[in-house]
Amino acid sequence: MSEILKNVGKRIREIRKAKGLSQTALAEKCGFTFSYIGGVERAEKNISLINLEKIAVCLDVGVHQFFVYSYQYEQLPANEKIIQEVVSMLIQHDEGTIEMAKNILSEVLKRSRQ
């Protein structure tokens, strides 16, 4: 099984779940079957660029988001895994929401130093 197919499928699953969508809901939005989405997520399907773009549009992310992953993720220290998870959550939102999250985090960190 291709490593890139596994990693892309895993990212699609992560983003889909973060958006609160089931495989069936995503499949319906894209015009696919739920078994196709499942096959992509399990790296059983060699997804075309056109279908990858359809999924990105339905998830409201750029195609490049499916390639944002760390080969060493499982070996990262716990605090770096948390940082990766925060980045994954933020990257799915618009600039205004990200700015608001940054401001909130900044305030939390200021208060934790006091």
Question: What tens digit of pLDDT does each residue of 72-100 get?
Answer: 555 667 777 787 778 777 877 888 999 99
Under 8 Å between Cβ of 67 and 56: no
More confident residue, 72 or 46: 46
> Looking at residue 45, what is its pLDDT?
94
d(CA 23, CA 8): 15
Amino acid 31 reads G
Question: Euclidean distance between the first and final Cα of the chain, in Å?
Answer: 51
pLDDT level of residue 52 (50, 70, 90 thresholds): very high
This prediction has a pTM of: 0.64
8's CB contacts (< 8 A; 6+ apart) are 40, 43, 47, 52, 66, 67
